[in-house]
Structure 1
Amino acid sequence: MKRRAFNRCILSALVGGAAALAAIPAAQAQNFPGRAIELVVPFAAGGGTDAMARAMSDASRTHLAQPIVVLNKPGAAGGIGLTEVANSSPDGYKLALVTADMVIIPHLGLTKTTYEKFTPIIQLNADPSAITVGADSPYNTIEEFLAAARAKPESMQVGNAGIGSIWHLAAAALEDKTGAKFNHIPFNGGNPAVLALLGGHIDAVAVSPAEVMQYVKAGKLKPLAVMADERVPGFENVPTLKERNINLSIGTWRGIAAPKGTPQPVLDTLGAAFRKAAAEGSLKRFMAEQNLGYVVADQQTFTALMQRDNATFKGLIDKFGMRP
């Protein structure tokens, strides 16, 4: 009898201890945030992703009890910064500004950190690829462009932001859908590719509308089609591929994610604050001024997008042998 009573005491103590430990994260979540939150941008300062992170930080000031501090952790095409956040304590105090690169670079062998090591909080942006040519190009429609590419396989020089970049994958996806064969010309970023097009060194680029917008408005470039479900603001006269019976929608995106295992109450607090921040006029103006596609999607929708693109990009990288 004494032994059974002793065992019951031990079991009661263990159960009570476990309940007390479980209550600690709940209490922490209830008081969240109690200190500044770090938002890691896995790219160098000064780019569009960095600028968007800082605009979001500013817009969040009145919606969170603590500030968001933006930290740049570039390297390995974003892999270094993403890995740091994925391996951090899942308490909501270190987040990542994620882009479509996070579902590309693991398949290129640049990192072992996959999107599955994160929980998405909110999507803030989406930009499709656009096929753009010089203003004096003989091609005025996407049909003419593709017909020329099919007539002389691999003679059409299409610039991108580097081997395995989202814009390389977009052009490869267009090949896959249409049977055209391009000569893919990699550059160190979308802007150098656009400058090469302006100089007449290549035939086209497959980059975002934002990266060619100023030159299109100046009459120096002309877009032939966008790879989106709907026409793009500022490119209202440019058809989508789907309007031309090519079932392809592909592009980049940006958003905020937390390490896997972050408590749901913390995610809920962050999600609510970020949705309010995304509705701020200052953030909307920033997105419009930067010609960035303004899209706000919740945790579930953003997760589904990551899953879809992860499968799509893996298939393209494997099929076209892009992995070094």
Structure 2
Amino acid sequence: MATTTRRRSPSSRRADPGSGRTSAPSGGEAVMHGRRSWLRAGAGIAGAAALSGGVQASDWPNRPVTLIVPWAPGGGTDSVGRALGQALSRNLGVPVPVMNRAGGNGTVGHVAIRDAAPDGHTIGFVTPQLITGPLLGSVPVTWRELQPVALLNTDPGAITVGAQKPWRNLPEFLEEARRNPRSIRVGNSGQGGAWHMLSLELERKAGIELIHVPYASAGPALQDLVGGHIDAVTFSAVEVRAPVGGGQARMVAVAAPERMRTHPNVPTAREQGLDLDVSTWRGLATSRGTSTPALARLESAVRQALQDEVFQQFMAQQGFGIRFLGAPAFASFLGEQDTKYRAYFSN
């Protein structure tokens, strides 16, 4: 596997959620700033929450509930987070602002969730990187240090190429990759992410070598795909929906056992001779120490938010799946994911 680090074009710059200015993608969340940087990033949220003091479960929520998204704006998790925040706000009667804490392949945001006051007023998204990060290097947070709240959804991956590329299907893409090894630049979510895993599985099962270009989220990657700076991406089918629908990109395969209802004309990789089945998942967690009654109320609020009509319409329109698991079942799910990825990385 080859990885490239390159200068981003102006079109691929993303918004800095903290300053309102723009900044270049973070090198695919794989740029590590060290334990102190991670801890400083989380400390701001934790400190702010701690100043207001603890609350009783019966008082929850008595102020805005912050929803942390550990990724840059523009990706699938950010989109789901904003829709969920609105649904939770309608249900709870308090604002639920989204706070993007990108960096360290999700680690900055995960640390912020862990270090928040254990009162249920700070929750955040967790994704497969929470599992894979500690398996790939020195990461100062593991899934066991967070309190699972609920699983929200799962989404299959897809192989998508720029509209200017000649490949009309997966066999044509693979033929080019075999004829010219390490010539195709593929954007993905960075080391350990679900879509990095999809790129690795594609290489392993097809016997090819790609150039991996990591991104902080799907948004900047898709800008570069449309601009011709990379050749393909391995993000979810949902995340590439806009450029595919606009004729700026072409989905050549879905990495799922069956075709998607939202893209019935796109064949699966399995139909085209390659057995690929890679999906991502998204859940919510909060800090450990949150009281059982407060956690129960939080889990119930999330369940009701997933049943919110406006939220369900958004998820259906965007092609996102909904899959709910409560706190105990989600904790078991995380344990199963940990076992799965440990087996993968030990091979």
Would the alpha carbon gap of residues 157 and 302 (structure 1) be closer, same or farther in structure 2, given more than 3 Å must change?
same
Kindly state the Cα deviation for residue 213 of structure 1 after the two structures are TM-superposed: 1.8
Match of 1:278 in 2: 306
Q: Which of the two has higher C-alpha Rg?
A: 1
Q: Which moved more, 1:265-274 or 1:187-196?
A: 187-196
Match of 1:127 in 2: 155
Would the alpha carbon gap of residues 156 and 308 (structure 1) be closer, same or farther in structure 2, given more than 3 Å must change?
farther
Kindly state the Cα deviation for residue 172 of structure 1 after the two structures are TM-superposed: 0.7
C-alpha contact (below 8 Å) 1:129/1:226 kept by paired residues = yes
Partners of 2:248 and 2:81 lie apart in 1 by 31
Partners of 1:40 and 1:33 lie apart in 2 by 18
Match of 1:157 in 2: 185
Amino acid at match of 2:212: H
Kindly state the Cα deviation for residue 223 of structure 1 after the two structures are TM-superposed: 1.0
Give 5+ residue unaligned stretches, structure 1: 1-26, 320-324
Amino acid at match of 1:205: V
**Residues 1:114 and 2:127 aligned together:** no
Kindly state the Cα deviation for residue 156 of structure 1 after the two structures are TM-superposed: 3.1
Kindly state the Cα deviation for residue 225 of structure 1 after the two structures are TM-superposed: 0.9
C-alpha contact (below 8 Å) 1:130/1:226 kept by paired residues = yes
Give 5+ residue unaligned stretches, structure 2: 1-54
C-alpha contact (below 8 Å) 2:146/2:286 kept by paired residues = yes
Would the alpha carbon gap of residues 310 and 158 (structure 1) be closer, same or farther in structure 2, given more than 3 Å must change?
same
Partners of 2:331 and 2:257 lie apart in 1 by 19
Q: 2:129 aligns with which of 101, 104, 115?
A: 101
Match of 1:234 in 2: 262
Supply the RMSD in Å over aligned alpha carbons. Answer: 3.2
Match of 1:293 in 2: 320
Amino acid at match of 2:178: R
Would the alpha carbon gap of residues 131 and 266 (structure 1) be closer, same or farther in structure 2, given more than 3 Å must change?
same
User: How do residues 88-237 of structure 1 correspond to structure 2 at under 5 angstroms?
Assistant: 88-109=116-137, 111-187=139-215, 189-237=217-265
The alignment partner of 1:230 has SS state of coil
Would the alpha carbon gap of residues 71 and 135 (structure 1) be closer, same or farther in structure 2, given more than 3 Å must change?
closer
Q: Which moved more, 1:163-172 or 1:66-75?
A: 66-75
Kindly state the Cα deviation for residue 314 of structure 1 after the two structures are TM-superposed: 5.1
Would the alpha carbon gap of residues 225 and 33 (structure 1) be closer, same or farther in structure 2, given more than 3 Å must change?
same
Would the alpha carbon gap of residues 237 and 47 (structure 1) be closer, same or farther in structure 2, given more than 3 Å must change?
closer
The alignment partner of 2:299 has SS state of helix
Would the alpha carbon gap of residues 203 and 89 (structure 1) be closer, same or farther in structure 2, given more than 3 Å must change?
closer
Partners of 2:96 and 2:229 lie apart in 1 by 43
Kindly state the Cα deviation for residue 74 of structure 1 after the two structures are TM-superposed: 4.0
Would the alpha carbon gap of residues 230 and 271 (structure 1) be closer, same or farther in structure 2, given more than 3 Å must change?
farther
Kindly state the Cα deviation for residue 292 of structure 1 after the two structures are TM-superposed: 5.1
User: How do residues 241-256 of structure 1 correspond to structure 2 at under 5 angstroms?
Assistant: 241-244=269-272, 246-256=274-284
Match of 2:44 in 1: none
Would the alpha carbon gap of residues 262 and 242 (structure 1) be closer, same or farther in structure 2, given more than 3 Å must change?
farther
Number of equivalences: 291
Kindly state the Cα deviation for residue 227 of structure 1 after the two structures are TM-superposed: 1.5
Kindly state the Cα deviation for residue 143 of structure 1 after the two structures are TM-superposed: 2.8
Q: Which moved more, 1:114-123 or 1:146-155?
A: 146-155
Which deviations, in whole Å up to 9, do the C-alpha atoms of 1:32-62 show, x marking residues without a partner?
5152333333345676534533432321235
Structure with greater helix share of residues: 1
C-alpha contact (below 8 Å) 1:87/1:259 kept by paired residues = yes
Q: Which moved more, 1:261-270 or 1:248-257?
A: 261-270
The alignment partner of 1:257 has SS state of strand
Kindly state the Cα deviation for residue 133 of structure 1 after the two structures are TM-superposed: 1.8
C-alpha contact (below 8 Å) 2:156/2:254 kept by paired residues = yes
Identity of aligned residues (%): 36
Which deviations, in whole Å up to 9, do the C-alpha atoms of 1:177-220 show, x marking residues without a partner?
33222222334543343333334444322122233222222333
Q: Which moved more, 1:42-51 or 1:137-146?
A: 42-51
The alignment partner of 1:52 has SS state of helix
Kindly state the Cα deviation for residue 238 of structure 1 after the two structures are TM-superposed: 1.2
C-alpha contact (below 8 Å) 1:127/1:208 kept by paired residues = yes
Match of 2:16 in 1: none
Which deviations, in whole Å up to 9, do the C-alpha atoms of 1:263-282 show, x marking residues without a partner?
44333222222111111122
